[in-house]
């Protein structure tokens, strides 16, 4: 059950929908980053199910619009170039606010809640609106559900997997097939994408996990992500030679989303692609080192998070380990992580087929 502690300072952060008729035009705002936009997708699916005749749109940054466009959720995606420097953001907010106002959205869910999104919403002046709680020690999905509910819209605690466009699904299947995907084997995404060393499970652990797994069952491993991951991905691919599809740095964001949506399970560090997999309903074993799992861990029964919250130094949010050993991650052995993955696969397969 999702619960939250009432904060009196937030009571004015909502103007719930009170009209008898349902809203006609709904706008969700989330500018960045990839993982945060991915978390918004199931909320859009819930609003679609609740108000099937409504026009549902997303205001996001140009870099993340592609992720949303891979789905069937939105009637319109507004993705003007978001200024990288603070100096241009006031003008961006004014111009975008006027655009949103001209489009007549009667409901705005501000799932960004920063100075830019607030200006946009105030200029647009919708009949109903709500703001995301950025600071409560709750999973991001719980805070999104809270925003929807307090704005007057029912939103289930258990999100439905997001559907991708049929053409995106098919093109991703073809891409994987061209690189040797065989459907008789379990497809496992290995995602060594943590931004800092304190979020990185050792590369050799991924290799050992893969070796143990292929001794137990037919399995294929998929590597995706940006060029930043190439060195770590190459080491994993070399260690698991013959059983790896390495598409690191070789896909667009939408292609990566389409590929990961076809996986059977993901082993992942804290990253945007992890949240995209979660939105698509892919089971995840998440390895959280310095990240705050209470904010960012994937929510629900399809995810297992091995986090550092039990340690005195846990969830430190530091880019370098003060002790030099990243014990919060290295304590999780390949055998233990594999055990979690096998149990999760068995549980989710049983749940799906019931």
* 340, 284 contact by CB (below 8 A): no
Report how far apart the first and last C-alpha atoms of the chain are (Å, whole number).
Answer: 23
pLDDT in tens, 36-66: 999 999 999 999 999 999 999 999 999 899 9
Q: Given this model, what pLDDT does residue 84 score?
A: 87
Instruction: For CATH 3.40.50.2000, list the domain ranges present in the chain.
Output: 8-150, 166-353
DSSP per-residue letters across 124-181: H--SEEEE--SSSSS-HHHHHHHHHHHTT----SSPPPPPBPHHHHHHHHHHHHHTT-
- The yes-or-no verdict on residue 278 having pLDDT over 80 is yes
CATH architecture of the domain 8-150 equals 3-Layer(aba) Sandwich (3.40)
**Taking 50 as the threshold, does the pLDDT of residue 131 lie above it?**
yes
* Per-residue pLDDT band at 6 (split at 50, 70, 90): very low
Q: Report d(CA 90, CA 109) in Å as an integer.
A: 20
Strands of 25-29's sheet, edge to edge?
14-15, 128-131, 107-110, 25-29, 55-59, 76-78
CA atoms of 225 and 249, how far apart (whole Å) = 6
Query: Which alpha helices (H) appear in the chain, and where do they start and end?
Result: 34-50, 65-69, 89-103, 115-124, 140-150, 166-178, 203-216, 230-239, 253-260, 272-279, 293-296, 327-330, 334-353
Q: Which residues are registered as beta bridge partners of 219?
A: 186
- Beta-carbon neighbour count of residue 202 at 10 Å? 15
Nearest Cα to Cα of residue 37 among 52, 14, 59, 13? 59
In terms of pLDDT, which residue wins out, 6 or 94? 94
How far apart are the C-alpha atoms of 326 and 289, rounded to whole Å?
A: 7
CA angle 103, 68, 344 (to 5 degrees): 145
- In the predicted model, what is the mean pLDDT of the chain? 93
- pLDDT for 221 equals 98
Confidence label for 349 from pLDDT (cuts 50, 70 and 90) = confident
Would you say the C-alpha torsion 242, 280, 330, 332 has a positive or negative sign?
A: negative
Instruction: List C-alpha distances in Å: 282 to 24, 83, 345.
Output: 32, 33, 10
Report the C-alpha gap between 344 and 101 in whole angstroms: 46
pLDDT in tens, 134-182: 999 999 999 999 999 999 998 889 998 999 999 999 999 999 999 999 9
Query: What's the rounded mean pLDDT across residues 312-332?
Result: 95
Q: What is the pLDDT of residue 201?
A: 98
Model confidence, pTM = 0.93
Query: Alpha-carbon distance 196 to 304, whole Å?
Result: 21
User: Does the domain made of 166-353 have the CATH classification 3.90.1150.10?
Assistant: no
């Amino acid at each position: 059950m999702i619960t939250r502690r009432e904060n009196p300072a937030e009571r004015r952060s909502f103007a719930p929908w009170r009209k008898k008729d349902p809203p006609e035009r709904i706008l969700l705002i989330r500018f960045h980053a990839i993982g945060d936009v991915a978390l918004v997708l199931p909320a859009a699916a819930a609003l679609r199910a609740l108000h099937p005749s409504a026009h549902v749109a997303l205001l996001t940054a140009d870099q993340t619009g592609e992720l949303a466009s891979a789905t069937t959720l939105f009637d319109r995606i507004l993705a003007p170039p978001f200024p990288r420097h603070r100096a241009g953001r006031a003008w961006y907010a004014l111009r975008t606010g006027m655009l949103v106002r001209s489009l007549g959205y009667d409901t705005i869910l501000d799932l960004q809640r920063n100075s830019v999104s607030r200006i946009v919403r105030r200029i647009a002046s919708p009949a109903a609106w709500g703001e995301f709680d950025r600071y409560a020690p709750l999973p991001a999905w719980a805070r999104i559900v809270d925003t929807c509910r307090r704005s007057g819209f029912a939103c289930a605690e258990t999100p439905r997997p997001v559907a991708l466009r049929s053409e995106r699904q098919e093109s991703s299947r073809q891409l994987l097939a061209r690189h040797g995907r065989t459907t008789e084997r379990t497809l496992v995404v290995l995602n060594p994408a943590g931004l800092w060393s304190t979020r990185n499970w050792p590369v050799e652990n991924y290799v050992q996990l893969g070796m143990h797994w292929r001794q137990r069952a037919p399995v294929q491993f998929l590597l995706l992500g940006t060029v930043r991951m190439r060195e770590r991905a190459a080491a994993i691919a070399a260690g698991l030679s013959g059983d790896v599809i390495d598409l690191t740095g070789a896909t667009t964001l939408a292609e990566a989303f389409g590929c990961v949506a076809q996986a059977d399970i993901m082993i992942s560090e804290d990253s945007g692609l992890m949240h995209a997999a979660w939105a698509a309903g892919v089971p995840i074993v998440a390895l959280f080192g310095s990240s705050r799992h209470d904010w960012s861990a994937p929510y629900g029964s399809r995810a297992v998070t091995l986090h550092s919250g039990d340690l005195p130094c846990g969830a430190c949010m530091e880019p370098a380990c003060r002790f030099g050993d990243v014990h919060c991650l290295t304590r999780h052995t390949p055998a233990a992580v594999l055990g979690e993955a096998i149990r999760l696969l068995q549980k989710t397969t049983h749940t799906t087929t019931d």
